[in-house]
Amino acid sequence: MGSNLRFEGRGHRIDFQELTGGKSIMIYAQHEVLKDLNNARVATGGRVYFEVENVSIHDFDGDRPEIHYRKDGDNYELSCDFIAGCDGFHGICRPSIPAGVLTEYERIYPFGWLGILADAAAFLPKN
């Protein structure tokens, strides 16, 4: 089991079984992970918003924190019971957390991630 990558006009075989001592791998593209998470959210009656602008967090440590954003020229506010800052290390939540109250949780998984950056035409799957 492995993958073939091509760059600089040559093929390069990556033998995953050899590199991992025979362990299996799964290739799960980030856009497929995102589709699965969005579909799960919508299936439970939730909504997912894309291409919002001017996102800001207010009263993060208060009783009713809020998320403000702009979509399609209109301003919106979400009043929350709490905000879970799961928007990544460089997201809007981390810098909005008041000094001295940030709690970080880390989980080490028994697998690694492989990222590949390619200068290639976009792949648009058919629905």
Q: What is the pLDDT of residues 36-59, one digit of tens each?
A: 999 999 999 999 998 999 999 998
- In percent, the amount of the chain with pLDDT more than 90 equals 31
What pLDDT, on the 0 to 100 scale, is given for residue 22? 82
Written as six digits, the tokens of 9 are 């006009």
Cβ atoms 86, 78 nearer than 8 A: no
Closest-CA residue to 55 (of 42, 66, 70, 34): 70
65 pLDDT more than 90: yes
125 pLDDT more than 80: no
Rounded distance between C-alpha atoms, residue 32 and residue 92, angstroms: 23
Express each pLDDT in 9-46 by its tens digit.
888 888 888 888 887 777 777 788 889 999 999 999 99
